[in-house]
């Protein structure tokens, strides 16, 4: 029974003349998870968004770290259950599905 408590992703693109920085911070709490996204392009003010998902929508959620563990486990067992699908949060912070 593994559970992601917190996750942070940082991405930086060095595109001249406007480098881009994107940060996504996900925190688990009593009612579900909250996602904070920050996007900064060049010298412009950062654009920030936050939104939350309820525990009911996140049942079985598989975030990036848990996905890596699952892939290692499947490789070690050399087996792949059919139709293995989990709820996930994509790079934009939106709820989606992850299929293996």
What is the tens place of the pLDDT at every residue in 3-48?
788 989 899 999 888 899 999 999 999 999 999 999 999 889 999 9
Place of tokens 């003010």: 45
> CB neighbours of 30 closer than 8 A, spacing ≥ 6?
none
Boundaries of every domain in the chain: 6-99
pLDDT at 1 > cutoff 70: no
Q: What is the pLDDT of residue 80?
A: 82
**Pairwise CA distance, residues 3 & 12, whole Å:** 28
Q: What is the pLDDT of residue 39?
A: 94
Q: Any bridge partners for residue 27, and if so which?
A: 6, 34
Q: For the ranges 5-9, 53-57, 66-70, 73-77, which has the lowest average pLDDT?
A: 66-70
């Amino acid at each position: 029974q593994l559970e992601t408590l917190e996750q942070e992703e940082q991405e930086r693109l060095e595109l001249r003349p406007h480098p881009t920085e994107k940060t996504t911070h996900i925190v688990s709490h009593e009612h579900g998870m909250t996602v904070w996204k920050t996007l900064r392009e060049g010298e412009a003010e950062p654009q920030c968004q936050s939104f939350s998902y309820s525990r009911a929508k996140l049942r079985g959620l598989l975030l990036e770290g848990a996905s890596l563990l699952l892939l290692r486990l499947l490789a070690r067992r050399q087996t792949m259950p059919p139709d293995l699908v989990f709820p996930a949060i994509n790079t934009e912070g939106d709820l989606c599905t992850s299929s293996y």
